[in-house]
Structure 1
Amino acid sequence: MVRATRRTVAAASSRAAFALRSRLYQLASLGPVGLVVLVSLWHPAIVGRLQEQIFDLYQRVEPRAYDPFNPVRILDIDDASIAKLGQWPWPRTKIAALVDRLREDGAASIAFDIVFSEPDRTSAEAFLSTVQQDSRRAAIATALGDAPANDAVLADAVGKAPVVLGLILTQADEPDFAVPYGLATAGGDVRGYLPHFSGAVVPLPRLLETTSGLGALNWLPDDDQIVRRVPLLLAGGTRVLPSLAMESLRVAQGASTFIVRTSEASGDGGFGAHQGVRSVKVGAATVGSDANGDIRIRFSPHRSDRFIPAWRILDGSIRRDEIVGRSVIVGSSSAGLGDIRATPVDAAMPGVEVQAQALEGLLSGDRLERPAWTVLEPYAAVVLALALALCLPLLPASAGAAVAAGLVAATVAISWHAFGVHHVLIDPLVVSAMITMTYLGAISALFRAEQRDRHFVQNAFGRFVSPEVVEQLARDPSQLTLGGQQRELTVMFTDVRNFSAIAERMSAADLTRFMNSYLSPMTEIVLDHAGTVDKYIGDGIMAFWNAPLPDARHAENAARAALAMIDALPRLSLSGGSKPVAQLRCGIGLASGPCVVGNIGSQLRFDYTALGDDVNLASRLESLTKTYGLDILATDATRQLSPGLAWLDVDTVVVMGRTTPQDVVTLLGDEAFAQSESFRDLRAAHEAMLAVYRSGDSEAATAAVTMLRAVAPARLAALYDFYEARCRANALLPRDQRETITRLAHK
């Protein structure tokens, strides 16, 4: 039995060695690998089209489940509304009435999938222009009196409501118009990555003056004219414009600015990472995107309960709870108006419903993703095909077929699981095709050897080799689901010193350039050190660490960010018009402790922010940096969480609103500086001075301060001026009345 087993193994090994040395086997098994690679490289559009068809099939088999309680509704100018209210286009006064009713019912935003680029043809002004006889025109004008123009009525209604008007980007000349939002970028100029248009068809000027939002209605279908993606942002001439869905998200939150993060932002590199747009943050929502600023919609089937007929809004038959707090998109499902789009789940879906589904995905996070690391799919296919080619000669025919079938089945199962559970699109086509073709070629080449050695093969047993699967890097959106929770944070507040004096000498344009050139690198430093920028407060920044993603080294990262900010100030090229800003300085406050972090605000407007005693304390410490003449002040809790850095005790203070004394420290450098002999000597002398000062011996403390002033670095001169003044003031008091704790009477 042992001899038979050894003979079987030897026969299989001999057959494998023969097969692997055979040119026929090499050509038959490895040729398909080269063929698939060549097709993928020379005709990627063919492969891409087949991939999209597979992903479309996934969506048709398991579309997104529609949530009837989702905060998006469509106000539909449907055939029934046209029959009841008259042919389209309706008078702008009727549109204004719709806006007023939606505003009164508490809509969070009202977005129009319509461009009001031409004056109302049903208005009195338009009618008068068609009257030829002067006497009749005068009589009609007198009868109309001072009635406002229809467009003016609509503009007034738009100005009172959270309205987003639509525009269409074109390749014509760029018109001159203002946008009602701000844009900040972490990284390079975002316009180079976005779909670019040179012009636009925009709403009437009087509507632009009153609207809260302005969103692009452009679709970017694939070559087969199926809409699978929607842009978050587009480049229109010199402007960056949000899509209608993205602008609706901003207006519904009451946010003012889009923050775009690109691949040039610090720390965003990595193998396989795409170059371009990474994410867009607006209000509390951060939306990841493709390189050119697109997202993939996970579609649900057409649902009639997503629509509210326009006539029912005007006749008051819709309950207020159908509207309150929801984002409403106004458009038409009427086939006669021609706004019909092909989608993966429906060949004829109203364009307004596609807009609504895009907004639903932005609000819920339930959308599809094709991560940058999926570029590794062809490499995984080559590895699996080569492994199969090496293994097949070692296996019986049935086992080889099982392995090949198992690899294909596992590829499809992984792809389906990633889609259904994680909403990640992994292509099963290239891997399955390469494995199948490799198997067919290899098994054909092995047929002769199988016939010659059939009696050995019948007694053989082989080793089953499990292939490695493509690593899954996509994360579940529910894990960032933002929500109020208590968590230990490190909070940072920064402020430019003497900002009022700096701003006083600048024009508005110069001040804007100054702030951008200052805030951009400061923001990059926060992001580079795993921080979250909460908000910009004039010339200041509020940031925090350890949310929304956990960060076990949050205090250390915040402290390093503070050091990097101070180190970056001399390198900043800042100027205020013709007069450069010299010796730019900022103060930084750090505090660590339990805070509440999450969506804070009202149902209609909220921000992802942090609240708590330590948030207030960080702000107070930033203000205190001016008192002590230091760049950075932090709480003792922050020092305890990052003990390796060069910390120095400053004082014990009682801030306004608190009764417990708080030890505050300053940060002078990193671990290398903390281990230097000069710092150790300074810290020892400084602590000795503080011990004498706190004992109440003001005369000895004054002498210690004088000695320290001679050896301390210049950046501590203001601190020792403060202590010298305190010592001299205490020396005038009886020893039992001398105060060694600083009590602040102001914020």
Structure 2
Amino acid sequence: MNKKIRNYLLAGNVLTFLLCLALLFTGSLQVLGRALYDYNQQTTMTHQPNEDIIVIEIDQESLDLIGTFPWPRDIYIPLLEQIAGAKAIGFDITFTTKSEDPAVDQAFAAELAKHNNVIIPSYAEMENFFRKETKVKKDELVKGQALYKPIPEIAAASQTAHINALLDEDGAIRRTWLMLDTPEGPIPSMAYKMAEMAGANVQNFLTDNPQAEIPIKYNSTTKDFMSIPFYMVVNGEVPPETFQDRIVLIGFAAAGTDAHPTPVDNHMYLVYAHANIIDQLLRHEKIAITDQWYVLLLMLVIMVCSVWVTWRTKTVTSIALHFLGTVALLGGQWLLYSSTLHHFDVIYPLVALWLVYVVNLAVKTFFEMKQKQFITKQFGRYLSPELVKEIAKSDAELPLGGVNKELTILFLDIRGFTPLSEKLKPEEIVDFLNMMFDMITNQVLANKGTIDKFIGDAAMVLFNAPLDVADHEYCAVKTAHEIQNGMKSVQAHILQKYGVEVSIGIGINTGNVVVGNIGSYLRVDYTAIGDAVNTAARIESNASANQILVSEETYRRTKDFFHYRDVGEKQMKGKSEAIRLYEVVDFLAAPR
């Protein structure tokens, strides 16, 4: 990885990390976090609330039979008589105003005075009432601005607790205050008070949480609790033994009455929210929320892993690994929650995972495209444009190492170069070679050849590599013929300017070779090696000025396209047998 890529990578990842920090500490993805939290609640519900919890519903049928609410308060007297054997009785109804008939209030208060297990609730006015939120300092009870209590007669004859609902910004109830600080002192929630009255050890809920705010663990929906219509209890249709030593809640369950969304129900009557909290306290279940600093630590680890995977693996593999990581994070947090009630919000780590991946993949793709364009441009100097396009289009990699393949190899050498170089300045020699090789290169590329290398005043050209070329023998001979034709104007120019004759001798052979990326891990060249290559070089050394010599194999394959002259057998250096050679005289026709 070069310095430029590292700089882009560093800048991109730093900006991504800062963006993730901003998202985390501003809570911008809280909606997704809540959705994940709600999913955990929904999928881990037992649907088996404590069997001692009973809800007496003020339902639509009771309203139809008894009349429009509010009812006369003496209607609750037979109710209390029926459920007197309960351990705890909680009204999710406020009695903050006096009745038109004071005697009714007195009668209700007198009945309440007979029982020491009845809670008539109060509620506190909060400082940010309209936002449904309250700013709280660490280790400090939530502060209420005012406390609205039952009328004095009723308050004096009953126990009290608050029924404030803690709403999140989406209106859902996910948390509760077990204790509120009011101008008249701390006051417990009704659920906390009822669980305590039922004999549950709930003190440590406050010890572990000085602010007295806890997440609610919803184990049940409305339908899971034992519920009885109000009118049935008042009419004596339910035996009093049903309520013996039980926890009884009385509240609304009619359309249009007090209800809010919860993680497990889009429309839960608040009396059932109290029932769930009581059930949670009796089970002694506590939901732990992971601190943001641990979330941040996981984000950092994930970002580092994402960068490594993106740059060390192929794109398909990296995508698969990122999806696997996503599944692991979501599945892992669910297993953690379901087994320990520990909620780890992985939304921010997941966003960090994919943001980092997208940024790094974009940088990687950008530089790979630039590298591909560079390679295409550079390779275009050696291959024909058609071959370069085919390689790019096929997205095929040139194989590492060598492969056996039949090629036609062309060697050429500039004759007369030595006497010419003696008359030229160094820069003029370079200009001359560039002019010569420019003409040669144009002819090679036009005929789908690959320039293997330039060696001083000589060149080696391959046909049929790296991609297959139909009639590669014909292409090689045609290239040689066109190079010799192109030399005519060059020869005239050099002769006139420097008084020296230059020419080219060309040798061509067809045969099996080893072709590919050959060399060491420090230096690799794409080239061809083998006896057929050596033979082509030997044929070129036997060619005289302006002559094209081909081997018998090349001749056999191209004799229908070119006019040849048999020049007889030649003994080649390193060869035990002589090789018959043919000189190209003229072009006849192209293959059909």
Q: TM-score, normalised by structure 1?
A: 0.46
1:108 equivalent in alignment to 2:87: yes
Distance 2:138 2:296 in 1: 31
Gaps of 5+ in 2: 128-135, 373-394, 401-592
What's 1:296 paired with?
Answer: 216
Distance 1:331 1:422 in 2: 32
**Contact 2:49 / 2:220 at 8 angstroms: preserved in 1?**
no
Matches within 5 A, 1:626-645: none
- Is 1:198 aligned to 2:152, yes or no? no
What is the DSSP-based 3-state SS (H/G/I as helix, E as strand, rest coil) of the residue aligned with 1:216? coil
- Counterpart CA distance in 2 for 1:360 and 1:405 is 38
Give RMSD over aligned pairs: 3.1
Q: Residue 375 and residue 306 in structure 1: after superposition, are their counterparts in 2 closer, same or farther (change >3 A)? A: farther
Q: Does 1:95 align with 2:76?
A: yes
Give, in angstroms, the shift of residue 75 of structure 1: 1.1
Q: How far did 1:377 drift?
A: 0.4
Query: How many angstroms does 1:29 deviate by?
Result: 4.0
- Does the C-alpha gap of structure 1 residues 203 and 374 become closer, same or farther in structure 2, counting only changes over 3 Å? same
In 1: Cα distance, 2:356 partner to 2:397 partner: 24
| Residue in 1 that maps onto 2:251 | 331
Q: 1:53 aligns with which of 31, 35, 43?
A: 35
Give 3-state SS (helix, strand or coil) of 2:161's partner: strand
Q: Do residues 34 (structure 1) and 18 (structure 2) align?
A: yes
Question: How has the CA–CA distance of structure 1 residues 294 and 406 changed in structure 2, closer, same or farther, with 3 Å as cutoff?
Answer: same
One-letter code of the match for 2:64?
Answer: A
Query: Partner letter of residue 31 of structure 1?
Result: L
Say if 2:302 is the partner of 1:407.
Answer: no
1:79 aligns with 2:60: yes
Identify if the C-alpha distance between structure 1 residues 378 and 191 changes in structure 2 by more than 3 Å, giving closer, same or farther: closer
Alpha-carbon distance in 2 for matches of 1:113, 1:414:
39
SS in structure 1 of the partner of residue 206 of structure 2: strand
Identity %: 18
| Cα distance in 2 between the residues matched to 1:408 and 1:245 | 38
Corresponding position: 1:375 with 2:321: no
Contact 1:29 1:439 (C-alpha < 8 Å) held by counterparts: no
- The answer as to whether partners of 2:200 and 2:282 remain within 8 angstroms in 1 is no
| CA distance in structure 2 between the partners assigned to 1:358 and 1:323 by the alignment | 19
Report the Cα offset of residue 331 of structure 1.
Answer: 0.9
TM-aligned CA deviation for residue 440 of structure 1:
1.5
Question: What residue number does 1:357 align with?
Answer: 276
| Aligned-partner SS, 1:329 | strand
Q: CA deviation at 1:391?
A: 4.2
Q: 1:448 to 1:430 in 2, by over 3 A?
A: same
Q: Does 1:214 align with 2:160?
A: yes
2:167 match: secondary structure: coil
Partner of 1:235: 181
Cα offset for 1:150? 2.3
Separation (CA, whole Å) in 1 of partners of 2:178 and 2:252: 22
Q: Does 1:153 align with 2:107?
A: yes
1:540-586 deviation line (CA, Å, top 9, x unaligned): xxxxxxxxxxxxxxxxxxxxxxxxxxxxxxxxxxxxxxxxxxxxxxx
Change (3 A) 1:298 1:456: farther
Amino acid across the alignment from 1:280: L
Could you say which residue in structure 2 is the equivalent of 1:23? 7
Say whether the 8 Å CA contact 1:298–1:366 is kept in structure 2. Answer: no
Q: Is the 8 A contact 1:289 1:295 kept in 2?
A: no
Match of 2:361 in 1: 443
Q: Does the aligned pair in 1 maintain the 2:139–2:210 contact within 8 Å?
A: no
CA distance in 1, matches of 2:15, 2:345: 22
| Matched-pair contact (CA < 8 Å) for 2:49–2:219 | no
1: CA distance, partners of 2:272 / 2:289: 23
Matching residue's letter, 2:65: K
**CA 1:435 to 1:375, structure 2 compared with 1: closer, same or farther past 3 Å?**
same
Query: Paired residue for 2:122?
Result: 167
- The whole-number CA distance in structure 2 between the counterparts of 1:87 and 1:306 is 25
- Which residue of structure 2 lines up, in the alignment, with residue 558 of structure 1? none
CA distance in structure 2 between the partners assigned to 1:357 and 1:423 by the alignment: 16
Does the CA-based 8 Å contact 2:92-2:163 persist in structure 1? yes
From the superposition, tell whether residues 33 and 458 of structure 1 become closer, same or farther in structure 2 (CA, over 3 Å): farther
Superposition pairs of residues 168-567 of structure 1, within 5 angstroms: 168-170=123-125, 193-211=140-158, 213-253=159-199, 259=203, 279-280=205-206, 288-289=208-209, 291=211, 293-303=213-223, 305-320=225-240, 322-336=242-256, 338-366=257-285, 368-371=287-290, 373-447=291-365, 450=368, 452=371
The C-alpha deviation readout for 1:230-260, integer Å capped at 9, x for no partner, is: 11011112511111101111222299xx857
Deviation track 1:592-624 (CA, whole Å, cap 9, x = no partner) reads xxxxxxxxxxxxxxxxxxxxxxxxxxxxxxxxx
Contact 1:63-1:345 at 8 Å conserved across structures:
no
Amino acid at match of 2:282: L
Distance 1:383 1:305, change over 3 A: closer
- Displacement of 1:333: 0.9
TM-score by length of 2: 0.57
> Partner of 2:168: helix, strand, or coil?
coil
Cα distance change, pair 438–245 in 1 and its aligned pair in 2 (3 A): same
Q: Residues 457, 210 of structure 1: CA spacing in aligned structure 2 closer, same or farther, 3 A cutoff?
A: farther
Cα distance change of structure 1 residues 52 and 327 upon mapping to structure 2, 3 Å threshold:
same
Deviation at 1:160, TM superposition (A): 2.6
Measured against aligned partners, the alpha-carbon deviations of 1:198-236 in whole angstroms (never above 9, x if no partner) come to: 21111122222222x311011120112111111101111
Residue 166 of structure 1: CA displacement? 0.4
With over 3 angstroms needed to count, the CA separation of the structure-2 counterparts of 1:191 and 1:375, relative to structure 1, is closer
Q: Structure 1 CA distance, aligned partners of 2:200 and 2:109?
A: 20
Change (3 A) 1:69 1:363: closer
CA distance in 2 between partners of 1:64 and 1:91 (Å) = 39
Q: Is the 8 A contact 2:333 2:346 kept in 1?
A: yes
Is the 2:216–2:280 contact (alpha carbons within 8 Å) kept by the matching residues of 1?
Answer: no
User: Take 2:124 and 2:39, find their aligned partners in 1: how far apart are those partners?
Assistant: 31
Aligned CA distance change for structure 1 residues 392 and 248 (closer, same or farther; 3 Å):
same
Measured against aligned partners, the alpha-carbon deviations of 1:697-723 in whole angstroms (never above 9, x if no partner) come to: xxxxxxxxxxxxxxxxxxxxxxxxxxx
Question: Does the 8 Å contact 2:175/2:216 carry over to 1?
Answer: yes
CA distance in structure 1 between the aligned counterparts of 2:337 and 2:4, rounded to whole angstroms:
38
Q: Which runs of 5+ in 1 are unaligned?
A: 1-16, 126-148, 173-188, 261-278, 282-287, 460-747
Separation in structure 2 between the aligned mates of residue 54 and residue 19 of structure 1, nearest angstrom: 41
Assess if the C-alpha contact under 8 Å between 1:107 and 1:323 holds in 2: yes
Question: Hey, what does 2:411 align to over in structure 1?
Answer: none
Query: Partner letter of residue 231 of structure 1?
Result: W
Cα distance in structure 1, aligned partners of 2:196 and 2:111: 20
Structure 2 CA distance for partners of 1:77 and 1:91, relative to 1, 3 Å: same
